[in-house]
Amino acid sequence: MKSTLKIIIVSLTCSIISIIFYSIFSNSISTEENENDQAFIDYSESFINTSGINSIQYSSNVGSPDLTFAAKKSINAVVHVKNTSIVNESDSWALQFFYGDESRKRVGTGSGVIISPDGYIITNHHVIENSSEVIVTTNDNKEYEAIIVGSDEVTDVAVLKIDSNEKFEYILFGDSENTQIGEWVLAVGNPYNLNSTVTAGIISSKSRDLNEYDQINQSFIQTDAAVNVGNSGGALVNINGELIGINTAIQSMTGGFVGYSFAIPSDIVRKIFEDILEYGDVQKGLLGVRGIALKSSYSRQLNLTDTEGFYIDIIEPGFGADLAGLKKGDIIKEIDGIKINKFSDLSGHLSTKRPGDKVNVIYSRENKLNRTTVTLKKVDN
């Protein structure tokens, strides 16, 4: 009997101890799980826009951005542009005899971007070049005759205006300087006369020059968003629906999209738009230097160790660079904090400036870095 009692007491004691340990262990696991859950929540929240750049909304497909907001915000502000021009020389006098002046009319099409509620439109110069009539069609199929306010052939930017009492949907300018390679973008336009076409891609490169030997202000945003004939003059927008570029060119053997296209940065476009409205033409400021962007082959020829930067070969007397003390052989490394690796880095930034503006220049002379401030001078046309 005593043996049986001892067994019962021992069994009860072991059971009580087991229950106590299980309870403690279970609470410990629960606490750790809650802490891990909290840590996961805090970690995921760190991806919410805290940097002040662009907030990205992701869809249910992991890694796929939700671009519907940008599309809705921009699609009604992009228009179809039809340019009718008159050809001075006809291929055949017989066509004019039978069909009259209609035989001399040529029609081209492209896109445009409304950038104000009262109907100012940005497009490409080549879209409206030599036009006798420009007709703009909005996304709701309303047609308007547009006037050409002004254009700049060098940068391929033109400004149109619709005269109407209506208030139009429009796109706000974004900051193209702060865009980043790999950032998602939308190309909105009218390829092949298909209204309201949206394609998506990323920024593939910045400050892209399509002809490094042509010393004009070319500095494009390169993207892999599909752009075809008719997209010229259309919008390149970021995920917030802000205008960061005007689609203007493709490079391919066939004339169709092959994986990359080019847009004029919005910072340049905005400056040209403001110049045309305020001055009637584009105000261009000169640094007053000529030279070449360095790379390995040029550096070897010049006996230089630097392979990046803009090598100054000629200083224009009396211009800002000359007055600021820059000399032949100096290498411009930065301008206003922007690293200069190629000519388009330099020309692209200067395209956003006007005569009289001051720029901060860091340059290398005899392998020592120096700083100076240069005042840009007006270009004499």
Residue with tokens 């547009």: 146
Domain boundary (108, 130, 162) is at 162
Is the predicted pLDDT of residue 29 greater than 80, yes or no?
Answer: no
Residues 228 and 192 in one domain: yes
Give, in order, the Cα–Cα distances in Å from 171 to each of 71, 113, 131, 270, 272. Answer: 11, 7, 25, 12, 17
Catalytic hit among 126, 176, 207, 219? 126
Domains of the chain: total: 3
Residue 115 in domain: yes
For residue range 87-124, list pLDDT tens digits in order.
Answer: 665 555 554 554 455 545 677 889 999 999 999 999 99
What pLDDT shows up at residue 295? 87
Q: What is the chain's mean pLDDT, rounded? A: 81
318: domain range?
A: 285-378
What pLDDT shows up at residue 170? 96
Catalytic hit among 74, 111, 207, 232? 232
Selection from 336, 346, 348 nearest residue 308 by Cα: 346
Is the predicted pLDDT of residue 41 greater than 80, yes or no?
Answer: no
Domain boundary (162, 190, 212) is at 162
232 is catalytic: yes
Residues 225 and 150 in one domain: no
CATH of the domain at 185: 2.40.10.10
Identity of the residue numbered 182: G
For residue range 239-269, list pLDDT tens digits in order.
Answer: 999 999 999 877 655 666 777 889 999 999 9
Residue 55 in domain: no
Q: For 162, what's the count of Cα atoms within 13 Å in the CB-facing half-sphere?
A: 30
> What is the C-alpha to C-alpha distance for residues 161 and 143, in angstroms, rounded to an integer?
13
Is the predicted pLDDT of residue 340 greater than 50, yes or no?
Answer: yes
What pLDDT shows up at residue 101? 55
Is the predicted pLDDT of residue 40 greater than 50, yes or no?
Answer: no
Q: Residue 293 contacts by C-beta under 8 Å, 6 or more apart in sequence?
A: 212, 309, 310, 311, 340, 341, 342, 343, 345, 346
Residue 18 in domain: no
156 is catalytic: yes
Residues 312 and 366 in one domain: yes
What pLDDT shows up at residue 255? 63
- And the tokens for 23? 């309870």
163 is catalytic: no
Whether pTM exceeds 0.85: no
Catalytic hit among 125, 152, 156, 330? 156
Share of the chain above pLDDT 70, in %: 73
